[in-house]
Amino acid sequence: MQLTTSLPLALAGVRWRQGQQITNRNRYPDELRWLLDRGSLTARLKRRAETFRVIRLASETRSIYNHERRIFASACNVRVHTAIVREVILCCDGHAAVYARTVIPWSSLAGSNRRLLTLNERPLADVLFSGCGVARGDIEVAQVRTSMPGSERLHARRSLFFPNQKPILVAEFFAGDFNFCTTEE
Tell me the mean pLDDT in the region 46-72: 93
Q: How sure is the predictor about 127, in pLDDT bands with cuts at 50, 70 and 90?
A: confident
- Is residue 124 a known part of a binding site? yes
Nearest to 25 by CA among 184, 174, 141: 141
Q: What is the pTM of this model?
A: 0.91
Average per-residue pLDDT for the chain: 87
Give per-residue pLDDT as tens, 144-154: 888 766 667 88
The 10 Å Cβ neighbour count of residue 97 is 20
pLDDT for position 1: 46
Segment 123-137 mean pLDDT = 86
Give me the pLDDT at residue 152, please.
76
Model confidence pLDDT, tens digit, residues 3-14: 556 776 777 778
154 among the known binding-site residues?
Answer: no
Question: Annotated binding residue at 172?
Answer: yes
Question: Which CATH superfamily includes the segment(s) 17-22+40-174?
Answer: Chorismate lyase-like (3.40.1410.10)
Q: Identify the pLDDT of residue 2.
A: 47
Q: Residue type for 142, please?
A: A
